[in-house]
Chains A and B, each alone.
Chain A
Amino acid sequence: MDELLRIRGLTVRFYTYDGVVQALENVDLDINQKETFGLVGETGCGKTLTALSILRLIPPPGRIECGSICFNIDDENEPVDLLTISEDGIRAIRGSKISMVFQEPSAALNPVYTIGDQISEVILLHRRQELGQRALEAVNALLAETPGFISTLARPIWLMERKLYQQVIQAPSSLWLTIISRIFLVKRLLWRLKDEAQKITISVLGEVEIPDPQRLTRQYPHQLSGGMEQRAVIAMALACSPKFLIADEPTTSLDVTIQAQILELLNRLKVEWESSILYITHDLGVAAEICDRVGVMYAGSLCEIAKVDDLYANPLHPYTKALLAAVPKLGEEPHSIGGSVPDPLEPPPGCRFHPRCSSAMEKCREQVPLMRELAPGHFVACYMY
């Protein structure tokens, strides 16, 4: 299997007036092509920060201290390190190659624009060349097919449009196009780009199983239910057919029946679009349903990574075991883990789980255990093995 993303030694700290928050510590993670990788863990363990680091969106006072995130943009090129490429480079990747779906759908949508406008805008931003191509084809078709009187009148305009769209295809971000698109009336000549973007929007909304996508493009976010909003957000994330979709608890605010719909949808899209998903959740049930591999996080580090069947059938790390035992099951007393998550300002030395671990040894209190591969594809960071 090919690797899509390789995170090594990712460390993120927040410099607050209370002290240094050690939010992520030496995170190592691989995500393969065409797989759904689940990242599970309790509140505050750093799942969202891992995702934000990939997009380099850590808010201040946070800083990525060290590490690398290598991303395979496509098969021809060498992988790039997302943490070192230029600001422009990462901006081009955000939204087009990697996109993100957040937990609160309403936070991702601007309440004053219609759904259609918002999705088209993403497409206009990242898929200009393709839009230009489609617009050019439309103009060419007009030039070739429209006969007689109308044609003679409109011909000069169409020829001008053709020229512009050729420009768009060749150099979509050239200065002269930027100027044109600012000039009153003249910018109207580029209207076909918007038109094509709208068409793509409708088809993408159809992809996410929204009934009557035509109508939805004209609606505002507040007119939609939570489930519909989340679909629209997913559509927006998928608008540029990204290779990698980060879904940060996309169904947490939704009902189970709606959650089932969305999970089904994501599963289908992953197969159809051949993309990978990083699925962040705190619900072990959801992770079991849709992930191929799962990583368990605790207090800023990963403690276990395994194939989904392995992990649930044969959890190795004491934290994973405890977490699985805490999930309520029919007729079984849920087992709770004693103690609470450590303060990220003063994490315990050694293995961060040792104060709550029943099999902690002397070594666990002093040294940080490293990730080791115990069985093929099953990684654990624990001194017991």
Chain B
Amino acid sequence: MTELRFWLYQARKNPLSLVGIAIVLIFVIIAILAPFLAPPPEGHIDAYQIPRDGYSPTPKPPSQEYKFGTTQGQYDIFYGVIWGTRSAFKVGLLVIGMVLVIGILLGSIAGYFGGLVDEIIMRITDIFMAFPPLILAMAITVALGPSLNSVIIALTLVSWPIYTRLIRGDILTVREEDYVEAARGVGSSHLRIIARHILPNSIYPTLIMASLDIGAVVLSAAALSFLGLGAPEGYADWGQMIQFSRNWIVGPPGNPLAYWYTVTIPGLFILFFVLGWNLLGDAFRDILDPRLAKR
């Protein structure tokens, strides 16, 4: 009860966090309701494939039929951004989920047992962290062949060292706590100590970072797609839709804003998605920050 009051109190103190929650919730609803908001046309095989109306390269402005207009190649922008929300969640949650699993596993082992294992794991993370992350991700995607799955794998490979290190550090501080020693004194196994005593007390900073990072991951995925390394052409993906609009950012002379919808609409979706997760992450931090812990 007090817990809830405290959360509400924190949320009230920082109304932006409520905005963050609202934005993310809206995106969740969009993703869930995608088949109803933008029903795939009859006979469409892959719902993620954006339906197109001809092959003309010139975008068409919003109309009755295409609410947000069509982009280069006559892909339906509305359909693209709605189904793109699903892709965004897929990329963000999958990457962060896998990174968390790897990070918790390796970080716990390194932090809890220390010694040689720790040394080896840490040197491996050093190797990964020696490269600029985006370049490394590009190299991996190219090596695996461009596709959404390669993007997910590449981003996972790029991010796990950071998480492993973070978790290891937090575990190192908790490892020496009296209650961990007490658990050992009682005869608990290593697994039990890690799972019941250490992780629940050290995982929160990582979870906060993860929620902040979901937005960033989607942004990186969009960047890779923009470079043509992501989803195949026509796949509902915000990054790709921005890529389609690359030639149409500025319109013909005399009417520079003629094709504004091609870049602005997917851009706004990305912007709000990232913003939503960031605000949500901040909200988590406000709630879980130990310095604000209640007396």
Binds A, one of B2-10, B27-35, B58-66, B75-83: B2-10
Q: In the complex, which residue of chain A has the Cβ closest to the Cβ of B10?
A: A17
A-B contact count (CB 8 A): 5
In angstroms, Cα B9 to Cα A18, docked, is: 10
B1-33 contacts to A (CB < 8 Å): 2, 5-6, 9
Q: From A16, which residue of chain B is reached at the shortest CB distance?
A: B295
Instruction: Enumerate chain A residues within 8 angstroms of B294, measured Cβ to Cβ.
Output: 18
A22 to chain B, nearest CB (A): 15
Determine how close the nearest CB of chain B comes to the CB of A60; give it in whole angstroms: 14
* A17 partner residues in chain B, CB cutoff 8 A: 5-6, 9
Contact with B along A86-97 (1 / 0, CB 8 A): 000000000000
User: A195 to nearest B CB, angstroms?
Assistant: 42
Chain A residues, Cβ within 8 Å of B9: 17
**A18 proximity list for chain B (CB < 8 A):** 2, 294
User: Interface size of B by Cβ–Cβ distance < 8 Å?
Assistant: 5
Which secondary structure dominates chain B's binding surface? helix
Write the nearest CB–CB distance from B291 to chain A, whole angstroms: 14
- Within 41-55 of A, Cβ neighbours of B (below 8 Å) are at none
CA gap between A18 and B5 in the complex, in Å: 9
Q: Measured between alpha carbons, how far is A239 from B6 in the docked complex, in Å?
A: 45
Complex CA–CA separation, A17 to B6 (angstroms):
8
- Bound CA span A17–B2, Å: 10
**CB proximity of A310 to chain B, nearest CB, Å:** 37
Q: Mark out the residues of chain A between 1 and 39 whose CB falls within 8 Å of any chain B CB in the assembled complex.
A: 17-18
Minimum Cβ distance to chain A for residue B219 (Å): 36
Question: Inside 8 A of B5's CB, which chain A residues have their CB?
Answer: 17
Give bound CA distance, A17 to B294, whole Å.
10
In the bound complex, CA of A335 to CA of B9 (Å): 43
Bound-state Cα–Cα, A38 to B19, Å? 53
Within 8 A of B (CB), among A239-268: none
Q: How far is the CB of A341 from chain B (nearest CB, A)?
A: 15
Q: How far is the CB of A62 from chain B (nearest CB, A)?
A: 13
User: Closest CB-CB distance, B1 to chain A, in whole Å?
Assistant: 11
B5 smallest CB distance to A (angstroms): 7
Instruction: Tell me, in angstroms, the Cα distance from A321 to B200 when the chains sit together.
Output: 45
Chain B contacts with A in 256-295, Cβ cutoff 8 A: 294
Question: Nearest residue in A to B8 (C-beta to C-beta)?
Answer: A17
Residue of B nearest to A17 (CB): B9
With CB as the reference atom, state the residue of chain A lying closest to B2: A18
- Tell me the bound Cα distance from A344 to B5 in angstroms: 19
CB nearest neighbor in B for A21: B295
| A residues in contact with B6, CB < 8 Å | 17
Closest to A18 in B: B2
Q: How far is the CA of A296 from the CA of B59 in the complex (A)?
A: 84
CB nearest neighbor in A for B295: A16
Report how far A300 CA is from B175 CA in the complex, Å. 38
Instruction: Give CA–CA (A18, B1) in the complex, Å.
Output: 12
CA distance A336 to B6 in the complex (A): 35
Separation in Å of the A74 CB from the closest CB of chain B? 41
Distance, CA A17 to CA B9, complexed state (A): 8
A17 to B292, CA, bound (A): 12
Once bound together, how far apart are the Cα atoms of A18 and B6, in whole Å? Answer: 9
Find residues 130-162 in chain B having any chain A CB closer than 8 Å to their own CB.
none
Bound-state CA distance A18–B294 (Å) is: 10
Cα separation A220 to B147 with both chains bound (whole Å): 59
* Cα distance, A18 to B8, chains bound together (Å): 12
Residues B232-268 near A (CB distance < 8 A): none
**A57, B146: Cα distance in complex, Å:** 63
Residue of A nearest to B294 (CB): A18
B212 to chain A, nearest CB (A): 26
Q: What's the nearest-Cβ distance from chain A to residue B63, in Å?
A: 53
Query: Shortest Cβ distance from B47 into chain A, in angstroms?
Result: 48
Instruction: Give per-residue flags for B110-136: 1 if the beta carbon is below 8 A from chain A beta carbons, else 0.
Output: 000000000000000000000000000
Complex CA gap A17/B12 in Å reads 12
How far does the Cβ of B196 sit from chain A's closest Cβ, in whole Å? 29
- Chain A nearest CB from B170 CB (Å) reads 24
**Distance of A18 Cα from B295 Cα, bound (Å):** 10
Q: CA A111 – CA B294 in complex, angstroms?
A: 28
Chain B positions within 8 Å of A, measured between CB atoms, are: 2, 5-6, 9, 294
In the assembled complex, 5 residue pairs joining A and B whose CB atoms fall closer than 8 Å, in A order, are: A17-B5, A17-B6, A17-B9, A18-B2, A18-B294
Closest 5 CB pairs of A and B: A17-B9, A17-B5, A17-B6, A18-B2, A18-B294
